[in-house]
Amino acid sequence: AKSCRRGAAVCFAPEHEAVLRRDAAIEQALRRADLAVEFRLLYQPIVDAVSGRVEAYEALARWQSPTLGFVSPAEFIPVAERSRLIRDLSRVLLGQALDTMRDWPAERRLSFNLSAHDIAAPESVDHLAAMVVASGIDPRRIVFEVTESGLMRDLGDATRALTSLRALGVGIALDDFGTGYSSLSYLQRLPVDRLKIDRSFVIRCAEDETSLNIVRSILDLCRHLTLDCVVEGVETADQLLLLRSVGCRAMQGYLFHKPMPAAAIPAFEAAPPLW
Ligand code: C2E
Ligand code: CA
Ligand code: CA
Ligand code: CA
């Protein structure tokens, strides 16, 4: 496969071919999927690690395909984005999440992941906004998480979309903060309320001073810009103590709880573990 004839339609290494076949199988299964039946959300708590209170749950999609079995969102989200199926999927999932929220304590918030494709077209944004309004749930209880990577293509459109969502009262979080190429210019342009510090900084913060100092600097940045901040991927008590010592409050990670089905939330709320 080294010599590629000019004009040949396809030309790549065998590993790459396997990935493409897998993606094609995922796309086919996705097109045939009954979204409302095969997809569900798990919810992972975001806690105030100083007071111990639960503040929100992040909704994370899970797919049990009748033909492919369990498929991870790391695999199906990119395929859904490329094949334009993401908008339908996001609508189904947002509908589920808004329903689930009815059983939650009144002050509990929902953090919901949106793809750049969900906000690329004004009618798609309007549809999501209309769903929030129709649910009757206070929009201030909803945070939409977006990653900068997808917004790169058209920052102007993204800014308009996020501004119109925010006008409803929902919050906007910039996800995976610190992993992209131009995080700071995004902060300057996009209407954002909160940053989620990527797990990669947390993983290393106990072993490496630089990572902890980066977290410290992002917290400073948040204070100066009056943004909230959440650290993701907190797995150990050591990490919790270090992060708390540099001023992190809102945290998320396996230490607190793994993503859980909606049905497990009442028991968790009734007896949140002590950290
Ligand atoms: P994300 O938004 O950054 O979500 C956090 C991911 O980290 C989740 O993986 C979560 O299960 C995992 N996680 C949470 N705490 C820990 C921890 O302490 N340690 C480790 N190792 N991992 C932790 P998940 O659920 O597999 O989702 C992967 C990605 O797929 C998400 O990353 C998000 O980008 C995307 N995704 C998931 N659900 C949706 C969705 O409904 N819509 C969209 N557009 N994207 C979604
Ligand atoms: Ca997220
Ligand atoms: Ca993240
Ligand atoms: Ca991520």
Nearest CA to ligand 1 atom 41: 61
Average pLDDT estimate for 86-111: 97
Residue 109: name the closest of 230, 197, 22 by CA: 230
* 197-215: pLDDT as tens digits: 999 999 999 889 999 999 9
* Choice from 40, 47, 60 to test ligand 1 binding pocket (greatest atom count within 8 A of CB): 60
- Ligand 1 atom nearest to 259, measured from its CA: 11
> Over 50: is that where the pLDDT of 1 sits?
no
Regarding an ipTM greater than 0.95, the answer is yes
> Over 50: is that where the pLDDT of 193 sits?
yes
E-strand stretches of the chain: 39-48, 54-65, 69-71, 109-113, 142-147, 171-177, 194-197, 228-231, 250-251, 260-261
pLDDT given at position 2: 46
* 131-175: pLDDT as tens digits: 999 999 999 999 999 998 777 677 888 999 999 999 999 999 999
- Pairing state between β 54-65 and 39-48: antiparallel
* 113-125: pLDDT as tens digits: 999 999 999 999 9
Nearest CA to ligand 1 atom 21: 233
Average pLDDT estimate for 23-32: 97
- Ligand 1 atom nearest to 198, measured from its CA: 3
Ligand nearest to the CA of 197: 3
Most confident of the ranges 184-188, 203-207, 231-235:
231-235
Mean pLDDT over each residue of the chain, to the nearest integer: 92
Alpha carbon distance 211, 46 (integer Å): 21
pLDDT given at position 139: 98
- Ligand 1 atom nearest to 254, measured from its CA: 18
Tokens 């992972």 appear where?
44
pLDDT given at position 155: 84
Output the CA angle 53-198-252, nearest 5 degrees.
20
Question: Pocket around ligand 1: residues whose beta carbon is below 6 Å from it?
Answer: 44, 60-61, 72-74, 77, 93, 113-115, 175-176, 232-235, 252-254, 259
List of residues 6+ apart from 19 with CB closer than 8 A: none
150 or 189: whose pLDDT is higher?
189
127 or 189: whose pLDDT is higher?
127
Alpha carbon distance 43, 228 (integer Å): 20
